[in-house]
Chains A and B, each alone.
Chain A
Amino acid sequence: MTDLYLEVVTPEKILFEGPVGMVEVPGELGRFTVLRDHGPIISTLTQGRIRIIGKDGVERHFLCRKGVVECKENRMTVLMDHTTGVEEGK
């Protein structure tokens, strides 16, 4: 059983990389949640918060202004504009 593997990348650095249990992103047409074995999806992201629950049980938040997300075969990539890649305190 493979976990959902997530990367959050900005032009300046990789903000997050690792297996996650759940990812919630602000899609262009509304927020949605991605779990393991999600169908392949590409969506643009709008302003909002990206919520990640890692396999270690830690919850993380990133602020996003604009971006795009791709998920395919349990590999998920979030690309964000770099100015927005701020990790928020819990």
Chain B
Amino acid sequence: MANLKDIRTRINSVKTTRQVTSAMKMVSAARLKKAQDDISHIRPYTSRLAAIIHDLAATLDKDHPMDYSEPGIGEDVLILAIASNRGLCGGFNINVVKEVQNLISDRYARDYKLGKVKIGIMGNQLDKMFKVRDIRRDFYHHELLQNPTYESAAVLANQLMLDFKEGGFKQVVLVYNEFINAAYQEVQVQQYLPFSVPVAESNELLTEYILEPDAASIIRSLVPKMLQTMLFQVILESLASEHGARMTSMHKATDNATELIKGLQLSYNKARQTAITNQIVEITGGAEALKNG
């Protein structure tokens, strides 16, 4: 049995760990709250924008397809994986990695073999994991996770749109964790470009809109906006998921530490009791010996 001092040291170290994990849990909880607020701010905008595009899509004739809604003229597929700059958040990062692996070994297997799959990465942890797995990374946007602003997301979105238009890519997909609730995230693969137009229900008679200046130019200005907002929302979702995941895993770590301390305390007490019993036995043994002598 380990001696008393060893056990005491271990108990102390586990206690420190527990303090750290529980502090991290608190921090994540606070950040999660903020991230959720951010999402709730952008959702009305996205849904209203989608509603307008939806209404407009029905008024467009087939000869004038929406910008970015046709498959790109390029040959490459871009996979943009979004996860985290930091670890300690359970399966958050690895789930994205697995999904990307699935994509390149299944849906885009042929393109990948031909070297026609480009992988963009957001998150230092993802970079490390891809490196270990020997998957090529083509560009990074870690900074977007540190300080997510609409402008910076819009800049990236514009860049993607430009590349797409000029023949850089035929398709852009996003892989990210969708925020379902604080304890649950789901990895999503979302097609970003070409833009899938919300389908209008045909039986609904469309109101005759007055369009200023005209449908085509409205669409031309709305679709890029929609794409920017979509990207921004995806980043926000991913951030909220990250904090949720970290909160859950830190909660579990704190629980485990508590369990561990309980066990250690028990063995500490046992060891202490054994030591005391031994000492008493020795003392009484000595006294007996003196009496008899």
Which residue numbers of A lie inside 8 Å of B, CB to CB? 7, 9-14, 27-29, 39-44, 66, 68, 70, 72-73, 77, 79, 81-83
Does B108 sit within 8 A of A, measured CB to CB? no
Are A12's CB and B208's CB within 8 A? no
Residue of A nearest to B49 (CB): A79
Kindly list chain A residues whose C-beta atoms are within 8 Å of the C-beta of B218.
42-44, 68
Within the complex, which residue of B208, B221, B229 is in contact with A11, where a contact is CB–CB below 8 Å? B229
Chain B interface size, as a band, is 20 to 34
A12 to B150, CA, bound (A): 8
* A25 → chain B closest CB, angstroms: 10
**6 shortest interchain CB distances as A-B pairs:** A43-B212, A41-B210, A40-B207, A40-B209, A11-B45, A70-B52
Does B44 sit within 8 A of A, measured CB to CB? yes
Kindly list chain A residues whose C-beta atoms are within 8 Å of the C-beta of B45.
9-11, 79
| Chain A-chain B contacts (Cβ-Cβ < 8 Å), number | 78
* B147 → chain A closest CB, angstroms: 14
Given the known inter-chain contacts A13-B41, A28-B213, please indicate yes or no for A77 contacting B48, CB distance below 8 A. yes
Are B212's CB and A28's CB within 8 A? yes
* A15 → chain B closest CB, angstroms: 11
Are A39's CB and B210's CB within 8 A? yes
Are A12's CB and B49's CB within 8 A? no
Given the known inter-chain contacts A11-B232, A68-B221, A68-B222, please indicate yes or no for A42 contacting B56, CB distance below 8 A. yes
Q: Which of A9, A27, A66, A72 has the most CB of B within 10 A?
A: A9
A70 to B56, CA, bound (A): 10
Residue of B nearest to A10 (CB): B45
Given the known inter-chain contacts A10-B45, A11-B150, A11-B229, please indicate yes or no for A70 contacting B55, CB distance below 8 A. yes
Residue of A nearest to B221 (CB): A44
Kindly list chain B residues whose C-beta atoms are within 8 Å of the C-beta of A70.
48, 51-52, 55
Kindly list chain B residues whose C-beta atoms are within 8 Å of the C-beta of A11.
41-42, 45, 150, 229, 232
